[in-house]
C-alpha cells in the first residue's frame, strides 16, 4: 500500500500546478453555494426560499464545469466551450429572475428569504461573469463579457420595480466582482501554460544536448575515418591494376592497405575510448551548471585533482548518471555533491530532495554504475535517506605503490615514452601498455618474461624498431601514391 500523499509526490511540477488550479475552480463553486445557502436560518428552507439553494447549487456546478472545460481549451485539449458559455449565461439569467421574483414576493416576516434572494442574484451573476472570461481570448472580449453580465443584471432588476440606485449598485457590483474573479481565473490559466512551456523547453534543451553530442561524435569519427578510407580505396585500386599486370608490387600495396586499416582501427578505438571516459572535474562543473540552469540549488564540494584516471572516469559516470536522475525523476529543489578522502578511499556523495519512489527496484543506470565501479574495486549505495531525500554514495579505494605514488597515473618509461597502467618488472622498471598485435588489438598489460615487449611490432634487443609492414622497392605507381598520401 502506498504512503498517504504518494499520488501527489509522484506528480510532476506542471501536473501539481494543474491539480491545484482545478481544485481552485472547484472551491469557487463551493464558495458560491455556501455564500447563499449557509448563512441563513430555517426560514430559507421553506416555501419560496426552498428554491434558492437548489438553483444556486445547480448554477455553481455549471460554473465549475464551464471553468474546467475552458481550462482544457486554453491547454489545447478541447474545443472552445461556446455552447457551454451560452448555457451558463441562460442559467444565470434564470437564477437572477427567480431570485428577484422570490425577493419581491416575500412577505414582511420573511426578511431572511428576501436577503437570501438578493444575495443569490448578485453572487450568481458575479461568478458567472468571472468563469465566462476564461472561455474567451483577448482583453476586449473579456471586458465585453463582464460588461454584458453587468448590463444584464441591471436589465433584469429594472423591470421588477427596483429603485434606479439599487439597479446601478447591482450592475457595478457585478462588474467589479466579475472582473476580479475572471482576472484570477485567467491568471491561473496563464501561469499553468507558462509552467508547461518551461517544462517543455527544459526537455527540448535536453534533447538538443543529446543531438549535439551525437553530432560531435559523428564529426570526430568522420575526421578519423575519412582520410584513411580514401587512402585505402586508392591503394586498393592501385593494387588491382598492378595485380592485373603481374607486378609484385601489388602485394606490397595490399600490405600497406592492411597497415592503414589497422591504424584506422586503433584510431577509432581511441575516439570511442575518449567518448566513453568521463573526467570527474568536467562532470562536477557540468552537473553544477545544468542543475543551476534547471532552477535547482546545487552545491559542489571537494576537488578531483590527484586522483587516478580510472577512478576519475568511474566517479565521473556516477556524477553524470546521478545528475540525469535528479533532472528526470522527482521534483528536486536542492542537490549537493560532495567528494572527500577517508581511510584510503575516495567517497562521492550525491543527495537531492523531492525524490519520488519509482517502485521498479532501481533502473539499468544504477546497475551500469555498479559494474563500472566494480572494475576499480568500488561500491555503490543508492536509496532514500529520509522523507523525499535520495542519496547516492560511491566509494572507491585509492592504493599507493611502494614508492608512495598512486597507481593509474601515466608515467614515462626509461625510453621516455608515456605508458598506461604502471607495473614493476623483475628488473625494477615500469612497463607500459602492451603494444598492438598483428590484428591491431590491445592485450592485457603485464610483466614480460625477459623485460621486453612482445608483439608483431615489438622493439628488438638492439633498440631498433622493426615495422609490422616494411615498404619494399616499389614501382613508379606505388611511389606516386605514397607521395600523394604524404
Which ranges of 77-159 would DSSP assign to H, the alpha helix?
A: 82-105, 111-133, 139-157
* pTM > 0.85: no
C-alpha cell at 273: 575510448
Q: What is the pLDDT of residue 416?
A: 37
pLDDT at 439 over 60: no
pLDDT at 157 over 80: no
* Average pLDDT of the segment spanning 61-73: 92
Q: What is the pLDDT of residue 44?
A: 52
Percentage of the chain beyond pLDDT 70 is 71
Pairing status of strand 379-386 against strand 345-352: unpaired
Q: What is the pLDDT of residue 378?
A: 92
- In tens, the pLDDT along 109-133 reads 556 666 767 777 888 889 999 999 9
Instruction: List the one residue out of 106, 126, 112 whose CA is nearest residue 41.
Output: 112
**If 0-12 CB within 10 Å is exposed, 13-18 middle and 19+ buried, where does residue 49 land?**
buried
Q: What is the pLDDT of residue 386?
A: 82
pLDDT at 423 over 70: no
* Average pLDDT of the segment spanning 328-356: 87
3-state secondary structure of 352: strand
Q: What is the pLDDT of residue 480?
A: 37
pLDDT band, very low/low/confident/very high, at 47 (cuts 50, 70, 90):
low
Among the residue ranges 52-66, 318-332, 436-450, the one predicted with the least confidence is 436-450
- In tens, the pLDDT along 129-150 reads 999 999 998 889 999 999 999 9
Phi and psi at 3, nearest 5°, equal -75, 150
Amino acid at each position: 500500500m502506498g504512503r498517504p500523499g504518494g499520488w501527489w509526490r509522484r506528480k510532476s511540477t506542471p501536473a501539481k500546478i494543474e491539480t491545484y488550479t482545478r481544485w481552485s475552480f472547484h472551491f469557487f463553486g463551493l464558495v458560491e453555494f455556501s455564500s447563499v445557502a449557509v448563512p441563513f436560518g430555517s426560514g430559507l428552507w421553506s416555501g419560496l426560499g426552498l428554491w434558492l439553494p437548489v438553483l444556486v447549487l445547480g448554477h455553481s456546478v455549471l460554473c465549475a464545469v464551464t471553468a474546467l472545460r475552458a481550462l482544457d481549451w486554453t491547454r489545447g485539449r478541447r474545443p472552445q466551450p461556446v455552447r457551454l458559455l451560452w448555457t451558463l449565461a441562460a442559467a444565470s439569467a434564470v437564477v437572477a429572475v427567480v431570485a428577484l421574483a422570490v425577493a419581491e414576493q416575500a412577505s414582511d416576516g420573511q426578511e431572511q428569504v428576501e436577503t437570501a434572494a438578493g444575495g443569490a442574484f448578485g453572487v450568481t451573476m458575479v461568478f458567472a461573469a468571472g468563469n465566462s472570461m476564461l472561455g474567451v481570448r483577448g482583453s476586449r472580449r473579456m471586458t465585453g463579457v463582464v460588461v454584458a453580465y453587468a448590463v444584464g443584471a441591471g436589465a433584469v432588476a429594472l423591470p421588477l420595480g427596483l429603485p434606479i440606485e439599487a439597479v446601478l449598485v447591482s450592475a457595478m457590483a457585478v462588474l467589479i466582482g466579475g472582473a476580479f474573479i475572471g482576472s484570477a481565473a485567467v491568471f491561473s490559466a496563464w501561469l499553468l501554460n507558462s509552467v508547461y512551456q518551461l517544462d517543455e523547453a527544459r526537455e527540448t534543451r535536453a534533447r538538443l544536448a543529446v543531438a549535439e553530442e551525437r553530432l560531435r561524435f559523428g564529426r570526430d569519427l568522420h575526421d578519423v575515418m575519412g582520410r584513411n578510407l580514401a587512402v585505402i580505396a586508392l591503394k586498393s585500386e592501385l593494387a588491382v591494376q598492378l595485380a592485373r599486370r603481374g607486378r609484385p608490387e601489388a602485394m606490397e600495396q595490399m600490405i600497406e592497405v592492411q597497415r592503414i586499416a589497422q591504424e584506422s582501427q586503433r584510431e577509432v578505438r581511441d575516439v570511442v575510448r575518449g567518448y566513453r571516459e568521463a573526467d570527474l572535474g568536467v562532470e562536477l562543473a557540468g552537473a553544477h551548471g545544468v542543475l543551476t540552469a534547471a532552477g535547482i540549488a546545487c552545491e559542489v564540494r571537494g576537488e578531483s585533482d590527484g586522483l587516478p584516471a580510472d577512478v576519475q572516469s568511474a566517479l565521473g559516470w556516477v556524477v553524470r548518471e546521478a545528475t540525469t536522475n535528479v533532472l528526470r525523476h522527482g521534483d528536486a529543489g536542492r542537490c549537493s555533491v560532495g567528494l572527500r578522502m577517508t581511510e584510503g578511499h575516495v567517497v562521492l556523495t550525491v543527495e537531492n530532495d523531492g525524490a519520488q519512489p519509482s517502485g521498479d527496484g532501481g533502473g539499468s543506470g544504477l546497475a551500469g554504475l555498479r559494474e563500472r565501479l566494480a572494475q576499480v574495486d568500488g561500491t555503490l549505495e543508492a536509496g532514500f535517506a529520509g522523507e523525499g531525500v535520495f542519496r547516492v554514495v560511491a566509494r572507491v579505494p585509492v592504493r599507493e605503490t611502494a614508492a608512495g605514488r598512486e597507481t593509474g597515473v601515466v608515467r614515462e618509461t626509461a625510453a621516455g615514452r608515456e605508458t598506461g597502467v604502471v607495473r614493476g618488472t623483475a628488473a625494477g622498471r615500469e612497463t607500459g601498455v602492451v603494444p598492438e598485435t598483428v590484428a591491431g588489438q590491445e592485450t592485457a598489460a603485464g610483466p614480460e618474461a625477459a623485460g621486453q615487449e612482445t608483439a608483431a611490432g615489438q622493439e628488438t634487443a638492439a633498440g631498433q624498431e622493426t615495422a609490422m609492414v616494411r615498404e619494399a622497392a616499389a614501382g613508379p605507381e606505388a611511389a606516386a601514391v605514397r607521395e600523394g598520401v604524404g
